[in-house]
A and B are shown apart, each in its own frame.
Chain A
């Protein structure tokens, strides 16, 4: 069993494990709303749009998380402002700003020699370089995201599935859309170092999609998504440690494998499971029908 504990003898691995577990929990929780609102593109775009902030902190010196956070706030506000004009829809606003801002990052980077290695770590993460400070920032920002989600759970739920009613109760949709965008941006920023820009989307959508296969209950879905995210991170990191696969890729592949299994074999909703149930119940089809009577039975 020493293979389980071996990696924990190194401080950098302890940091890596803690970081990936935190990221799994944070992204798993907010990812539920990302998939329910169909916001995958937004998640991907935000992660790229943060790039210039990272480059600027590199040029000026300082913790790159701080630069990324500032960039995230600016970008999410800009998306809100542009999409509010009415003529340009949300998706377009996101596309324009994400590409423009990523290009700005690339241009800024070209002014700087010797940045290639760091670009690589931005794109694919550098989980072995997580410092104690990074961990503290990740934990604080993660707490902000989770508390934000918990505090505004009803508003965020309502604007996710019934916007017209939400507005009729006096809820300011723009404010809560912005708030959600900001929380999402924060979650993405703290994930960049562990999984990198290219794969952060997977931490947002894959565990949440797995959780969706398991439950119809929103609260349970958030708990499951966070758990699956954290466990995928843990398992992926072991694989990375022993097999030399890049950590981000190992973590995401683990999460993807979990999703694949659940997609096929989830107890109730798996594609194969549903088929088998159908077969078993074929001689008694009435057992398998979910009866939703219109009136209570007498």
Chain B
């Protein structure tokens, strides 16, 4: 695996919003078959970096490249799963319809979704164990169920890269476990996965590679190597973290 060239790369990447710097000097390689966790405090630039990788924000300096080619916008092989708070969950649409919208870009605008499309969407819902709620309205879902629908919609795309913004936030343990299983399964099929999180223990358990971010990259490497007291203090500031327990989790 490690001999493969990285699928996504960042080269001296910087992002400014209205002259305020959100990201600077980011150099990064994202590999296939690997789960990369982006960690950092609020405002560290995790969401910003994910959006750059998704081609949704053009970098102010430097570049993000997909298979060596500079990204100039969203790419069909890169799937982005937004933060749950980005969505108007009161909108009157069913789980199945919401999932099907993941296919909208590649289907004829004149015809309704085909029976095959619906079967594919149902399979994706089955993969995230949401098929029994296919006809439910999205406003009837719990946070964990919302996350599952997002994931199902992303699965339809079958992309090389999956970017997720805080998929584990506000989600119960069974859903977290299901998510980990699913990400692991995708990883074994060679998908590159990048997700943002605040949960160090979660990252230690799940990720192969961790990137500690606070405007720039403070440290990167395997969670076991980089989750050290001084590094975490530099990333997060003065918060108290039990590093020993984290390293135990990482080692197990």
Q: Residues on A close to B: CB < 8 A?
A: 36, 151-152, 154-155, 157-158, 160-165, 167-171, 212, 215-218, 221, 290, 292-296
- CB-CB under 8 A for A168 and B92, given A290-B140, A294-B144, A296-B131: no
Residues of B within 8 A of A162 (CB): 82, 86-88, 98, 101
Which residue of chain B has the shortest Cβ distance to A154 in the bound complex?
B104
Q: Is B176 an interface residue when CB atoms closer than 8 A count as contact?
A: no
Over the window 41-79 of chain B, the binary record of Cβ atoms lying under 8 Å from chain A Cβ atoms (1 yes, 0 no) is 000000000000011100000000000000001101001
- CB-CB under 8 A for A161 and B132, given A216-B137, A292-B140: no
B92-A217 in contact (CB<8A): yes
Residues of A within 8 A of B92 (CB): 36, 212, 215-218, 221
Q: Is B238 an interface residue when CB atoms closer than 8 A count as contact?
A: no
Residues of A within 8 A of B79 (CB): 168
Number of B positions contacting A (CB below 8 A): 41
- CB-CB under 8 A for A157 and B109, given A167-B74, A168-B82, A216-B137: no
Q: Give the docked Cα–Cα distance between A174 and B79 (Å).
A: 21
Could you tell me the distance in whole angstroms from the C-beta of B199 to the nearest C-beta in chain A? Answer: 21
A154-B109 in contact (CB<8A): yes
Q: Give the docked Cα–Cα distance between A106 and B216 (Å).
A: 56
- CB-CB under 8 A for A158 and B104, given A168-B54, A292-B136: yes
Between A and B, 7 residue pairs with Cβ closer than 8 Å are A151-B109, A155-B104, A164-B56, A164-B82, A164-B87, A221-B92, A295-B129
Q: Give the docked Cα–Cα distance between A155 and B110 (Å).
A: 13
Q: Give the docked Cα–Cα distance between A295 and B128 (Å).
A: 10
Q: Give the docked Cα–Cα distance between A290 and B54 (Å).
A: 38
Q: Is B94 an interface residue when CB atoms closer than 8 A count as contact?
A: yes
- CB-CB under 8 A for A36 and B91, given A170-B74, A292-B136, A294-B174: yes
Over the window 140-153 of chain B, the binary record of Cβ atoms lying under 8 Å from chain A Cβ atoms (1 yes, 0 no) is 11101100000001
Q: Residues on B close to A: CB < 8 A?
A: 54-56, 73-74, 76, 79-83, 86-89, 91-94, 97-98, 101-102, 104-105, 109-110, 129, 131-133, 136-137, 139-142, 144-145, 153, 174
- CB-CB under 8 A for A292 and B141, given A162-B82, A165-B82, A168-B82: yes
B87-A296 in contact (CB<8A): no
Could you tell me the distance in whole angstroms from the C-beta of A162 to the nearest C-beta in chain B? Answer: 5
Residues of A within 8 A of B105 (CB): 169-171
Residues of B within 8 A of A169 (CB): 74, 102, 104-105
Residues of A within 8 A of B97 (CB): 218
B86-A164 in contact (CB<8A): yes
Residues of B within 8 A of A155 (CB): 104
Which residue of chain A has the shortest Cβ distance to B141 in the bound complex?
A292
A152-B109 in contact (CB<8A): yes
Out of B55, B102, B145, name the residue touching A294 (CB < 8 Å). Answer: B145
- CB-CB under 8 A for A157 and B131, given A162-B87, A292-B141: no
Could you tell me the distance in whole angstroms from the C-beta of A206 to the nearest C-beta in chain B? Answer: 17
Q: Give the docked Cα–Cα distance between A160 and B89 (Å).
A: 11
Residues of A within 8 A of B137 (CB): 216
B104-A161 in contact (CB<8A): no
Q: Which of A168, A221, A293, A294 has the largest number of chain B CB atoms within 10 A?
A: A168
Which residue of chain B has the shortest Cβ distance to A155 in the bound complex?
B104
Could you tell me the distance in whole angstroms from the C-beta of B124 to the nearest C-beta in chain A? Answer: 15
